[in-house]
Amino acid sequence: MKNSIITLSLLALAACNQPVITNQSATSNKSNFTDGKKLVVFTTADSSNFKLSATDTLSFNDLAQPKETQICVFVDPSKTFQTFLGIGAALTDASAETFAKLSKEKQQEFMQAYYDVEKGIGYTFGRTSIHSSDFSSSSYTYITEGDKELKSFNIDHDKQFRIPFIKQAIAAAGGKLTLFASPWSPPAFMKTNNDLLHGGTLKPEAYQPWANYYTKFIKAYEKEGIPIWGITVQNEPMATQRWESCVYTAEQERDFLKNYLGPTMQKEGLGDKKIIVWDHNRDLMFQRAKTIFDDPEAAKYAWGMGFHWYESWSGGTEMYDNVARVHETWPDKNIVFTEGCAESFKAGAYYNWSLGERYGRSMINDFNNGTVGWSDWNILLDETGGPNHVQNFCFAPVHADTKTGALIYTNAYYYIGHFSKFIRPGAKRISSVASRSQLLTTSFKNEDGKVIIVVMNQSNMKTDYNVCIGSKAAQVTILPHAIQTLIL
């Protein structure tokens, strides 16, 4: 069985330029923590043909006390932590417009590649924007400028590309997609700079009209058959960007939430929708959490906090520990990764291995620090890294060459798939730790009892390691710059 799976996977890889993903039925071994344990191993590795390929099935043997020379990943399924919400990506205007340019055959391939859990990577989570973002072909809102009563509100713009795209994604995901929405900027007349772009802040007299705007968006989308699970208050509220942006201090976001947005959502019958604060980088997230979560009147409306990964713009490294500090200080609040992408698009870098490794490193650290869900940025972009109306071109895990009609799968797609395909909503994170720094690991236990262990090798060395559960261990080999998912 093992050899036939590997052979079929590699033959399919050689045959076509589309994702090669082995059917998950290979993971049917039942969890048994006393005897007869088996590990099914799936691998993606640099300089190899392995892309989410089944590469081994392993048995457990006695190993009561590892030696210092033996590299180990220690897993304890009895120690459980946060409940897993899901993994997915943003369904932006740019993604929808690019998708519309594909052939029907390629559109079907794309949806299957992302949302089918057997033949793809099983996305269950998603994000979209409340009117335009930089990843739109132009700036727009849902009202006539100056209409503070919102009498002109309509989502006709989105009916051309974005709404049909989201509906296809929901269908491909089996009829259910946990979708949240974020605004990049209020309409210009509501802001101190009277500009949809370039920062500015929300005018005090616009607090109530802007709060009403969210509820109209949610109701309009749901009327179109697109359920909205939640909203974020503001995308990147401390960034003055050359595109759609709006600045809120922590106190301003707190007061808008507790005095306007929260009560308005309740009044409009939308109190069950999740409200996510911050939605910006890890660097300042603790200060924002303290200001909002320590205020009981604001905190009661906040489901949790969202964060991005761009804090390294300053020249430093990712501040993973800040996620842990927020989680341990306010354990009753949820933490979700709401956006990340590789910036500065270059077509010649489609297959740079660092693209995928950035995802793997972030996802492992973020989940280990208490994150419940993880949303990538654009799910699809074109051959320019857009469209983007301010030329802020970026990478996506999958690109479409609209000139040739081809889909281009970067290794980021496969790295994300090592989590999203196997860890399913409702899973509990379990204890998992590596004994050497070249290996990163996180583990989950699905509701069906399967234990999912993700191990990433950051080094240039082929590495033998033991997966240790109690006094038993299975010996695994991981190639240089590789990621593995092991299913118990």
* CATH number (domain holding residue 359): 3.20.20.80
- Average pLDDT value for the chain: 93
| pLDDT of amino acid 2 | 40
Query: Could you tell me if residue 208 is inside a domain?
Result: yes
| pLDDT of amino acid 30 | 36
Q: Which helix (H) or strand (E) holds 359?
A: helix 353-368
Residue 33 has pLDDT above 70, yes or no: no
> Do residue 476 and residue 329 come from a single domain?
no
Query: Could you tell me if residue 444 is inside a domain?
Result: no
Neighbours of 423 (CB within 10 A): 26
Q: What mean pLDDT do residues 9-36 have? A: 43
Give the span between the Cα atoms of 272 and 268, in whole angstroms. Answer: 11
In 3D space, the residue among 193, 181, 289 whose CA is nearest the CA of residue 246 turns out to be 193
Query: Could you tell me if residue 120 is inside a domain?
Result: yes
C-alpha dist (Å) from residue 441 to 372, 389, 445: 16, 39, 14
Residue 21 has pLDDT above 80, yes or no: no
Q: Which of 405, 422, 439 is the last residue of a domain?
A: 422
Residue 11 has pLDDT above 90, yes or no: no
> Do residue 178 and residue 309 come from a single domain?
yes
> Do residue 30 and residue 66 come from a single domain?
yes
Radius of gyration of the chain from its Cα atoms, rounded to whole angstroms: 23
> Do residue 67 and residue 95 come from a single domain?
no
Residue 4 has pLDDT above 90, yes or no: no
Q: Are strands 125-130 and 86-90 parallel, antiparallel or unpaired?
A: parallel
> Do residue 71 and residue 108 come from a single domain?
no
- Torsion angle defined by CA atoms of residues 14, 20, 23 and 26, in that order, rounded to the nearest 10 degrees: 70
In 3D space, the residue among 309, 385, 404, 408 whose CA is nearest the CA of residue 95 turns out to be 385
With a pLDDT cut of 90, the percent of the chain lying above it is 91
Give the span between the Cα atoms of 238 and 281, in whole angstroms. Answer: 9
Handedness of CA 190, 191, 195, 198 (dihedral sign): negative
Burial 154-187 (b: 16+ CB within 10 A, else e): ebebbeebbbebbebbbebbeeebbbbbbbbbbb
Mean pLDDT check: name the lowest of 13-22, 67-76, 289-298, 317-326: 13-22
Residue 146 has pLDDT above 60, yes or no: yes
| pLDDT of amino acid 314 | 85
| pLDDT of amino acid 432 | 97
Return the ∠ at Cα 361 (arms to 133 and 385), rounded to 5°.
Answer: 35
Residue 56 φ then ψ, to 5°? -170, 155
Query: Could you tell me if residue 434 is inside a domain?
Result: no
Give the span between the Cα atoms of 58 and 145, in whole angstroms. Answer: 63
SS (H, E, C) 85-145: CEEEEECCHHHHHHHHCCCHHHHHHHHHHHHCCCCCCCCCEEEEEECCCCCCCCCCCCCCC
| pLDDT of amino acid 467 | 96
Query: Could you tell me if residue 432 is inside a domain?
Result: no
Q: What is the CATH number of the domain that holds 51?
A: 2.60.40.1180
Q: What mean pLDDT do residues 438-451 have? A: 97
C-alpha dist (Å) from residue 462 to 42, 128, 133, 192: 16, 40, 43, 57
Q: Which helix (H) or strand (E) holds 44?
A: strand 38-45
Q: Which amino acid is at 130?
A: I
Tens of pLDDT along 286-307?
A: 999 999 999 999 999 999 999 9
Q: Report the length, in residues, of the chain.
A: 488
Q: Which of 422, 442, 471 is the last residue of a domain?
A: 422
| pLDDT of amino acid 37 | 66
76: which strand partners? Answer: 431
CA 80 to chain centroid, in Å, comes to 22
Better pLDDT: 21 or 220? 220
The pTM of this model reads 0.93
Better pLDDT: 9 or 252? 252
Residue 321 has pLDDT above 70, yes or no: yes
Give the span between the Cα atoms of 5 and 190, in whole angstroms. Answer: 58
Query: Could you tell me if residue 427 is inside a domain?
Result: no
> Do residue 108 and residue 76 come from a single domain?
no
> Hey, what are 64's tokens?
């009561």
CB 333 within 8 A of CB 293: yes
C-alpha dist (Å) from residue 101 to 161, 374, 449: 10, 28, 42
Query: Could you tell me if residue 477 is inside a domain?
Result: yes
> What DSSP letter does each residue of 182-247 carry, written as one string?
EES---GGGBTTS-SBS---B-GGGHHHHHHHHHHHHHHHHHTT----EEES-SSTT---SSB---
> Do residue 184 and residue 235 come from a single domain?
yes
358: domain range? 86-422
Mean pLDDT check: name the lowest of 20-24, 32-36, 210-214: 20-24
Neighbours of 253 (CB within 10 A): 25
| pLDDT of amino acid 19 | 56
In 3D space, the residue among 404, 334, 316 whose CA is nearest the CA of residue 85 turns out to be 334
Q: What mean pLDDT do residues 400-429 have? A: 98
In 3D space, the residue among 52, 2, 51, 45 whose CA is nearest the CA of residue 26 turns out to be 2
> Do residue 55 and residue 145 come from a single domain?
no
Domain count, the chain: 2
Query: Could you tell me if residue 435 is inside a domain?
Result: no
Residue 93 φ then ψ, to 5°? -60, -45
How far the first Cα of the chain sits from its last, in Å, is 16
> Do residue 158 and residue 182 come from a single domain?
yes
Q: What mean pLDDT do residues 346-370 have? A: 97
> Do residue 11 and residue 120 come from a single domain?
no
C-alpha dist (Å) from residue 354 to 219, 347, 359, 477: 41, 14, 9, 21
> Do residue 357 and residue 481 come from a single domain?
no
Residue 27 has pLDDT above 50, yes or no: no
Tens of pLDDT along 44-61?
A: 999 999 999 999 999 999
| pLDDT of amino acid 424 | 98
Widest CA span in the chain: 72
CA 305 to chain centroid, in Å, comes to 14
> Do residue 252 and residue 276 come from a single domain?
yes
Residue 308 has pLDDT above 80, yes or no: yes
